[in-house]
Amino acid sequence: MDLFKKTENLEKVETTKAAGIYPYFHELETGQDTEVLIEGKKTIMIGSNNYLGLTSDDRVKKAAIAAVEKYGSGCSGSRFLNGTLDLHVKLENALAKFLKKEAVLTFSTGFQSNLGIISAICGHGDVIVGDKENHASIYDACRLSYAKLLRYEHNDMEDLEDTLKAIDQNKGILIVTDGVFSMGGDICNLPEIVRLAKKYGARVMVDDAHGLGVLGKHGRGTAEHFGLENDVDIYMGTFSKSLASLGGYMAATKQVIEFVKHCSRPFIFSASITPSCAASALEALKILEKEPERVENLKNISNYMRKGLIAAGVNIIESETPIIPIYTYDDIKTFQACKLLMERGVYVNPVISPATPVGMSLLRTSYTATHTKEQMDYAVSQIKEVLEILEVI
């Protein structure tokens, strides 16, 4: 059989394009902000992960420009060889201090961070225990590691304990979980995960991609939110969300970081993040430290939107985070809702099966510290009208 035969199986894509409701790859003509220009239309953006509103901050942009002028556009090599700048080290040291960890190591992307961390730390004979709703990068990292993967039901601590009980305690065990789950917006039960890890001799890794800048008084993430900063062995995070850049990191002890530096193939054999990415992430981190009120602003605007949607009769998944999923149930109606909202100047993201169970499709909305109440009021009114038109509410 021809290897490319599978590429002909694009019926769903072709059908939605023909119907004019294909919701992906829209072209933005401006930078990420609370309002953007998409294909010539002014649009309220409630579908990005620009949680602190720093991608359009002049200080961040100036830092990126200055880095290009000093270091050039790229590093032309891996961190392991010629690609380590003093700027990378400054960023790592600043992050380690902020996160209250001994050391930090940066990676080229958030996805690659999980690949590089888990495949280095875990191997043949080890066991990884993960939440079923963990990010796709964690699943791919587990495959790359050759460790055995055991999954527990989403945020089900009884199932987690049953899983841990059955593991040979002579094996190395890593419990890995999202801090904030990217689709549902809910938070992991970190206190119970930590308790069970101690009971069964496991290590804990938290993917805090959607937690940094979002949770905790200072925005340090899920562990700060629960007062457990000394009980998580490895933090993983990204720069592409709250820190307004591109790249990822791990935070751990110096010993663990040194091991990953010298054993992680995704780290060793990838080019380092560009000077502009490193500089913009570092500047965004400085702003987060100087302006912790952004974290509170994010919480307040998210709660304002949450209350507005509930008052409008919109069925949402409730959480404490700026991710607010809205039930649309049917895949086609989800695409139709995205199209109608875009026409009305509101951008949202579709989430359909198999990313959700059949019949439980969603509009994933997410918010920014710099959104205004006026923008939220308009978005609520348009979401309500569109869902009424589609007979979802």
Catalytic: which of 88, 101, 135, 210? 210
CA separation for the pair 81, 181 (Å, rounded): 35
Query: Helices 293-311 and 275-290 meet at what angle, rounded to 10?
Result: 80
Query: Residue 210 catalytic?
Result: yes
CA separation for the pair 347, 100 (Å, rounded): 37
Query: How many other C-beta atoms can be found within 10 angstroms of the C-beta atom of residue 6?
Result: 9
Amino acid in the structure at residue 242: S
Query: Residue 101 catalytic?
Result: no
Which helix (H) or strand (E) segment is 206 a member of? Answer: strand 203-207
* Sheet containing 346-347: order of strands: 35-38, 41-45, 346-347
- Both tokens of 375, joined, read 């923008």
Which DSSP state fits 330?
S
CA separation for the pair 57, 368 (Å, rounded): 13
Query: Residue 17 catalytic?
Result: no
Catalytic: which of 241, 333, 339, 371? 241
In our burial notation (b when 16+ CB lie closer than 10 A, e otherwise), range 60-95 reads bbebbeebeeebeeebeebbeeebbbebbeebbebb
Catalytic: which of 48, 108, 113, 182? 182
User: What are the catalytic residues?
Assistant: 182, 210, 241
